Amino acid sequence: MLDVRVTTLPHFAGLVLPAYATPGSAGLDLQAAVAEPMVLAPGARALVPTGLAIAIPDGFEAQVRPRSGLAIKQGLIVPNSPGTIDSDYRGEVKVIVANIGTEPVTIERGMRIAQLVVARYERIAWQSVPSLDDTARGAGGFGSTGTSDVGHRTI
């Protein structure tokens, strides 16, 4: 288990620290630390405070991701998903949310609006070379592998 330091800000009062919903959950649910309900019209975006500031250890990042239930049921997404919180950031964790649904969405205090996943990452060092090795795929991208496996794979 990775230890992550957390500080709660004054507007977090009365909320609970993010927790895993089940033993197999990868993400912790982030809550809205809003003073008043926030109504998000269809097509609108908002920056929602969580009242938390965290210190992610070096070599890790925290990823802010949408909650699937909010996305399918209410059209509430995290448009820059995953949003990255770097190990040297010490400000408040805030979540950019967008309503892609057809009805207004009300964000209330304590509403679980996103999830936070902490992941290890590697830093890179560029190695400039005159050309890259060939692969079967080559430069094919942006749909070059198709949308269906029917007729493409054999077992």
pLDDT band per the 50, 70, 90 thresholds, residue 148: confident
pLDDT at 143 (0 to 100):
74
Q: 81: number of CA atoms within 13 Å, CB side?
A: 16
DSSP string across 52-95: EEEEPPTTEEEEEE--HHHHHHH-EE-TTPSEEE-TT--SEEEE
Beta bridge partners, 5, equal 55
Q: Is the pLDDT at 155 greater than 90, yes or no?
A: no
d(CA 29, CA 109): 14
Q: Note the pLDDT tens digit of each residue in 35-91.
A: 999 999 999 999 999 999 999 999 999 999 999 999 999 999 999 999 999 999 999
pLDDT band per the 50, 70, 90 thresholds, residue 151: low
pLDDT at 137 (0 to 100):
85
pTM: 0.85
pLDDT at 29 (0 to 100):
96
Q: Is the pLDDT at 154 greater than 70, yes or no?
A: no
Structure tokens at 62: 């925290």
Residue whose pair of structure tokens reads 């405070």 in the numeric block: 49
Q: Note the pLDDT tens digit of each residue in 79-123.
A: 999 999 999 999 999 999 999 999 999 999 999 999 999 999 999
Question: Residue 151 contacts by C-beta under 8 Å, 6 or more apart in sequence?
Answer: none
Which residue ranges make up each domain of the chain?
5-120
CATH of domain 5-120: 2.70.40.10
